[in-house]
Amino acid sequence: MLAGAFIAIAVGAFHQPSGSAQVGAFVDDELLVKFVPGTPAHTVAAVHGQAGGRVIDEIPALGVQVVKVAPGQALQSLPLYQHNPNVKYAELNGIARALDDPFFPTQWGLHNTGQVGGTADADIDAPEAWGISSGSAVRIAVLDTGIKKSHEDITSSRVVAEQNFSSSATVDDVFGHGTHVAGIAAAATDNSIGMSGVAGGAILMNGKVLGDDGGGTYGSVANGIIWAADNGAKVINLSLGGTTSSTTLQDAVTYAWNKGVVLACAAGNNGNTQKFYPAAYSNCIAVAATDNRDQKASFSNYDSSWVDAAAPGVNIASSVPARTEVDTDNLGLVFITSAGGLEREARPLRYAEGTANSGIEASAVYAGLGDVSDFDSVNCTGKIALVQRGSNTFAAKVGNAKADGCVGVVIYNNDIGNFTGTLGGAGDWLPALSISKADGEDLVSRINAGLTTLKIVVKNNYAEWNGTSMATPHVAGAAALVWATCYGTSASSVRNRIESTADAISGTGSLWAHGRVNAFKAVKDCGSSPSPTATPNPTATPVATATPAPTGTPVPTPTATPALGNPNDMYVWNIYFTSVARNGNHKERITVVVQRDSDANGLTDSTDAVVAGAGVSLQVRNGGGTLIASYNGTTDTNGIFRSGWITPGAGTYIAEVTSLTHATYSWNKSLDPTSLDTDLDGDNLPDQSHTIPH
């Protein structure tokens, strides 16, 4: 078993406290902090100073800052923020993980005919759905360990946007999890290569939120969700998560849902009812995993109070980055072509030779235990050898077969079930696979009865894995199919079709709320809309009777107090730099805060209102006066304008506001704080200097 290989090590230092079922893993020197909207920048800075924190990143759409504290002090620093009245919330920066996804044969999840011992039609009816929708041009954002764009079943033309939110060097997939997920959701269909995705007409967005070790932070995941929602995703796949709840993560999910995005989220692989996040949030479709008999997978989390639907998640074949050597979870197929293409569940031996996509088809011979003497009694040239486990090593059996001219080897077990084997190391081997004792004995009988031909496939760029991670992209793909039909009018409509048309298999109502997803039922009957119900005539609104004017003592009109200022005067309240330094790369962003003299006292103070919609022009120069960058934009609802990121070298830099406009308010430069004149050039423009050390 390779289960341990997919237990991710979190990016950076993390902590797993006792009682982690309630708390979960988190970065031990980072917090996620959101201040009360309108909190002045100098107050924000003061709070950070008191708590010993510094901002290293931001999630602007949520108004959340990622704050670095002293090493190992996240738990100790947290109350300093939580108890401050200027802080809306503060929380630990939890660890999200690519799920632990074990392994096993071909795409029964899309079309189950009972192959390899399954129950016919225990699937999502994908081929039937393809007669109606391919999910054409619908954007599916896979937020994971990246996507291998060079994979033959995905290709770079299918990946229309990408962004790296992890601490890893590139957006490409090294770990493999994201490419597997992307293939299930949207691998190319009917292209004579590899596998079929649920939505072969969809296009992909690659948001790398987990690093090359399969782990990442909630802050990275939240940033990825915002990016996907802001860049046209209609579906977000989240085959990841953790046991710690997070307001930041929940707000990001809500943000995407409110922008019309359907989110499919893995329910987790702990085999219990413990909530897994973000799946447990109401705006996610939480997805459990089923096997090829429509039974709950043993590893899948469950609980109909928060798990919404189920989908195939056991023995799911999909794309992975090509490996240098074949491993036991790579794709291994054995077909009896002389018997109508019957498939037998198979596993490649580690280090075996791979095959082309078309595989190897040849006559089969039975060579006993695969000893030299067994091969002496048969002619294996150009044929596939069937041998039994036992007597000698797998390497010896395959070596003897190669020496005798065989083109492939199938080894059947000498005990119940299949097995996982290895050839011991890289070498000049043949394609070699294992099958169960029962399947092997059946093949021996067929060979003894007459001509038997086999087709074997061994592919190092496809693999069969298990997990709710694999179930979730079945739902994401189905959502893309629905978006491309008449039901694709809103995220609510798409989600309703997926959940309301799910097959009510065993466990519905107790293990999950809505059943196992059925893509065909979700997209069919678009042409037969129900007859609309007549709109009832509205009841007339009664005409109000005028209230008689009261008589009594007249109220005196107060004498107006002369204003010291003008509430329509706006000013630059603050300018500050935000620094991020990770993996040796340094970048800076400038924030400008705009307020107005709302209390008309002619003073700049923290009680003044912020100004949304103000036009800001900003220039950044180096110490020698050379223009480095210029930005134009408007302030958000918190009165904040942020520049793009710049990557300057060591030295002193000056950020200066050169223009400030608004439809209602006017810039009164005399109100700009005198502290915002660090260059002393007498131009009466507010600026702030910042020095980056060598």
Helix axes 41-51, 74-82, angle to 10 degrees: 140
Catalytic residue among 133, 246, 319, 469: 469
Rounded distance between C-alpha atoms, residue 154 and residue 172, angstroms: 13
**DSSP secondary structure code for residue 5 in this structure:** G
DSSP letter string over 56-70? EEEEGGGTEEEEE-S
DSSP letter string over 562-592? PPSS-TTEEEEEEEEEEEEEETTEEEEEEEE
177 given a catalytic annotation: yes
382: amino acid identity, one letter = G
Q: 477: which 2 tokens?
A: 């793909």
Catalytic residue among 151, 177, 474, 690: 177
Rounded distance between C-alpha atoms, residue 310 and residue 509, angstroms: 11
DSSP letter string over 520-555? HHHHS-TT-PPPPPPPPPPPPPPPPPPPPPP-SSPP
Reduced to 3 states, what is the DSSP secondary structure of residue 28? strand
Reduce the secondary structure of 412-456 to three states and give it as a string. Answer: ECCCCCCCCCECCCCCCCCCEEEECHHHHHHHHHHHHHCCCEEEE
Q: Is the dihedral of CA 411, 417, 423, 429 positive or negative?
A: positive
Catalytic residue among 125, 144, 327, 374: 144
Rounded distance between C-alpha atoms, residue 568 and residue 596, angstroms: 7
687 given a catalytic annotation: no
Other Cβ atoms closer than 10 A to 432: 30
Q: Output phi, psi for 43, to 5 deg.
A: -70, -40
The tally of CA atoms less than 13 A away on the side-chain side of residue 112 is: 24
Q: 356: which 2 tokens?
A: 């082309």
* Dihedral of the alpha carbons of 216, 218, 223, 227, in degrees to the nearest 10: 80
**DSSP secondary structure code for residue 610 in this structure:** B
506 given a catalytic annotation: no
DSSP letter string over 630-665? EEEEE--TTSEEE---B---SEEEEEEEEEEE-SS-
Task: Show Cβ contacts of residue 625 under 8 Å, excluding neighbours closer than 6 positions.
Answer: none
Would you name the residues annotated as active-site residues?
144, 177, 469
